[in-house]
Every structure is written in structure tokens, then in C-alpha cells.
């Protein structure tokens, strides 16, 4: 499989004329302006652009954490743009994993418990949970840290835990918001390798990044400016 022929070729995400506004009393800011993008199953897409161009807004909408004001968002053939909060949450917890720049691990929970959380929320039985958490911790090579708390880990290790948490539910899509932003280059590379591995095993990945270096790991870069897609680079 060559780099620009990925997945099974079916469309996972199709957004059309998507709009998102932020209003205050006096000004209305357009975060997304009639944006249309299509992402195929199994793709690894990087989204780039200057601060305030709408990258994070787009990621939040794709992750069903936020809903668009106008336009259509079809996920795996289902129109979700105007889904209720509940339906979105349900779709999200079974299909999407998140990786954040600041890791967003819960300080009061151990590595194991952090990774276990998504399984609890999808109702996986306890024995099964232990098995799957151990499996993924092993894969991320942080099994030996399972009983540590996030503060006791290095940044790189924390991000591994965050990725482990994102994949433990075997999501079809991983959304990563500047996953290496808080890491040094060596740890950053490790994380990118991990994401690439996951992608190669079939997970679709959409990553927001400022780093051209990281973006090179992807198949395609979508560049945003003022809420619009201005350029797409296919990586060769």
C-alpha cells in the first residue's frame, strides 16, 4: 500500500460548508467559514495553520465535543451536525479517542486507572478491562509504571499514558491536538512513531500541529487560514 492510497478508500468524515461563530456582545468572530473537508478511513491527516485559524474548533467539532452552527458533518455515513449532546456522547465514546497537548490525565488517578476510565464509561466488565488496559500499557511500554500517578512521570511517559487511554477502547478515529507540543524532540518523535504505528494498524488519525516536522508523518496536510482551507499538501 503506497502512502497516498490508504485504508479501504471509504469516506469516514465528510464536512460540507461548515460554519462556527463565536459571539460576544459586540463582535462576532468566524472560527470556521464554509469549510468543506473529506477524510477517508485509515488516513493520517495533519491540520496546520497559525493561531486562531480555527484548527482547534475544527478538531472539537470533528470530535463531537462541539456542534457547528451551519453546514453538514457526516461521520461514517451518519449526519451528526445536529445530534443531541447525548447521541454525540454515545457515538464519541465508542468511536473516537483524544490525545491532548497537555495530556489531560487526572492527577488523582494512577496510570492504570486513567487508562481504564474510557472502558468504565463504555460499560466494559471489570475482568475484561484489566486485560485490555494491561495489553495497551504493555504496547506503550509503560506497564512498569501502572501504579504511578501522573506527577511521577516524565512528559513523554505522560503522553504515552494519554495515548494508551485514547486507544484502549479501540477507536476508529484518534484526534490529536498538538500531541508533541509539551515534549522535547526525542519524546516527541517517540509519540509520532506511536501514532504512525496506530495508523498503520488501521486507525484514522487527525492531528492538529504547529510542527512541520510532525506534519511530515501524515499522509496529507490541510492548511487553514481564517477558518477556511487554503491549501492541501499530499505527502509523498
Partner 1 sequence: MIKNYIKIAWRNLSRNKGFTITNLLGLTIGITCAIFIFLWVNDELMFDKFNTRYKNIYQVIANRDFKNNIFTDQNMVFPLAKSLETGYPQIKNAVMSSYTSPQQFEYGQTKLKKDLAVVGGRYFDMFTCKFIKGNPKTALLEPNSLVLTESTAKSFFGDADPINKAIKINDKLLKVTAVIADMPGNSTRQFEALSAFSPSDPQVQNAMKEWQNSSYSVYIETATNPNIAAIEKAINKIMYDHNHDKISTYFTVPMNRWHLYSDYKGGKNTGGQIEYVRLFTIIAIIILLIACVNFMNLSTARSEKRAKEVGIRKTLGSGKKQLITQFYFESLLLSLMAFALSIVAVYLLMPSFNSLVGKRLSLNVADPVFLTGAFIIILFTGVMAGSYPALYLSSFNPVKVLKGTFAAGKSAVLPRRILVVGQFVISIFLIAATLIIYKQIQHVKDRDMGYNSNNLIMLPSTPNADKNFKAIKNDMLKSGLIKEVTRTSSPITDIWWRSPSPSYEGMPTDSKIIFSGIRTDVDFTATMGIKLLQGKDFAGTPSDSASMMLNKAAVEAMHVKNPVGMQMHYGQQKYTVIGVIDNVVMTSPYAPVDPLMVYYGDRGSSYITVRLKDGIQPQKAIDLFKKLFAEYSPADIFEYQFVDKEFGKKFIAEELISSLTNIFAGLAIFICCIGLAGLASFTIEKRFREIGIRKVLGATVKQLLMLIATEFLKLVLIAFVVAVPLTWWMMHNWLQKYTYHIDISIWMFGIVGVLILLLTMVVVSLNTLSAATANPVKSLRSE
Q: In the complex, what is the shortest distance from the CB of residue 105 to partner 1, in angstroms, rounded to a whole number?
A: 8
Contact criterion met (CB below 8 Å) for 198 and 167:
yes
Binding to partner 1 in span 159-188, by CB under 8 A: 165
What angle do the packed helices 111-121 and 126-139 form, to 10 degrees? 130
Report if residue 117 touches partner 1, rule: CB under 8 A. Answer: yes
Report if residue 126 touches partner 1, rule: CB under 8 A. Answer: no
Q: What angle do CA 51, 31, 174 make, to 5 degrees?
A: 75
Report if residue 218 touches partner 1, rule: CB under 8 A. Answer: no
**Given the DSSP bridges, would you call strands 228-234 and 28-40 parallel, antiparallel or unpaired?**
unpaired
Nearer to partner 1, 187 or 220 (CB): 187
| CA 12 – CA 39 distance, rounded (Å) | 6
β-pair partners for 222:
47, 232
Options 8-16, 26-34, 58-66, 129-137: segment touching partner 1 (CB under 8 A): 58-66
Report if residue 92 touches partner 1, rule: CB under 8 A. Answer: yes
Dihedral of the alpha carbons of 140, 143, 149, 154, in degrees to the nearest 10:
-50
Nearer to partner 1, 102 or 147 (CB): 102
For partner 1, the binding residues (CB under 8 A) are 56, 60, 63, 65-66, 85, 89, 92-93, 98, 100-102, 104-108, 117-118, 121-122, 165
Amino acid at each position: 500500500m503506497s502512502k497516498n492510497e490508504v485504508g479501504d478508500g471509504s469516506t469516514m468524515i465528510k464536512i460540507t460548508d461548515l460554519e462556527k461563530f463565536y459571539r460576544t456582545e459586540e463582535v462576532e468572530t468566524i472560527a470556521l467559514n464554509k469549510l468543506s473537508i473529506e477524510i477517508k478511513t485509515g488516513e493520517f491527516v495533519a491540520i496546520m495553520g497559525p493561531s486562531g485559524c480555527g484548527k482547534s474548533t475544527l478538531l472539537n467539532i470533528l470530535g463531537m465535543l462541539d456542534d457547528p452552527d451551519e453546514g453538514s458533518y457526516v461521520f461514517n455515513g451518519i449526519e451528526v451536525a445536529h445530534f443531541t449532546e447525548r447521541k454525540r456522547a454515545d457515538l464519541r465514546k465508542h468511536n473516537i479517542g483524544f490525545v491532548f497537548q497537555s495530556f489531560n490525565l487526572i492527577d488523582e488517578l494512577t496510570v492504570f486507572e486513567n487508562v481504564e476510565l474510557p472502558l468504565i464509561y463504555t460499560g466494559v466488565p471489570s475482568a475484561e478491562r484489566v486485560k485490555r488496559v494491561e495489553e495497551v500499557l504493555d504496547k506503550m511500554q509503560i506497564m512498569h509504571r501502572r501504579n504511578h500517578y501522573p506527577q511521577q512521570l516524565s512528559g513523554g511517559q505522560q503522553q504515552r499514558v494519554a495515548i494508551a487511554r485514547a486507544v484502549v477502547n479501540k477507536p476508529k478515529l484518534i484526534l490529536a491536538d498538538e500531541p508533541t507540543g509539551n515534549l522535547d524532540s526525542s519524546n516527541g518523535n517517540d509519540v509520532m512513531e506511536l501514532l504512525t504505528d496506530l495508523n498503520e494498524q488501521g486507525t484514522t488519525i487527525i492531528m492538529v500541529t504547529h510542527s512541520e516536522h510532525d506534519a511530515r508523518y501524515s499522509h496529507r496536510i490541510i492548511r487553514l487560514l481564517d477558518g477556511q482551507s487554503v491549501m492541501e499538501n499530499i505527502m509523498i
